[in-house]
Amino acid sequence: MSTTKPIRSALISAFHKEPLKPVLEELKKLYITIYSTGGTQTFIEQQGLDVTAVEELTSYPSILGGRVKTLHPKVFGGILARSGEDEDAQQLQEYGIPEIDLVIVDLYPFEKTLQEDASESGIIEKIDIGGIALIRAAAKNFRDTMVVSSQEQYASLATLLAEQEGSTTFEDRQLAAARAFATSARYDALINNYLLNDNEPSAFTRSYAPARQLRYGENPHQRGVFYGKLDDLFTQLNGKELSYNNLVDIDGAINIIREFDNTAFAILKHTNPCGVAVRDTVKQAYQDALAGDPVSARALSDLALSPGCTLPGAPDPPSSRVTSAASTTPRSPLCARTCGSRRSSTTAPET
Q: Residue 256's CB: how many other CB atoms inside 10 A?
A: 17
Integer Cα distance of 314 and 283 in angstroms: 6
Active-site entry in 28, 72, 140, 229: 140
Whether 16 is catalytic = no
Query: Where does residue 340 rank: exposed (0-12), middle (13-18), buried (19+ CB within 10 A)?
Result: middle
* Nearest in space to 274 (alpha carbons), one of 257, 259, 289, 264: 289
3-state secondary structure of 123: helix
Integer Cα distance of 184 and 167 in angstroms: 25
Active-site entry in 21, 29, 221, 270: 270
Residue 138 identity: A
Contact 284, 317 (CB under 8 A): no
Whether omega before 19 lies within 30 degrees of 0, making that bond cis, reads no
DSSP 148-204: E-SGGGHHHHHHHHHHTTTEE-HHHHHHHHHHHHHHHHHHHHHHHHHHHTTSPPSS-
Residues annotated as catalytic (active site), given as ranges: 140, 270
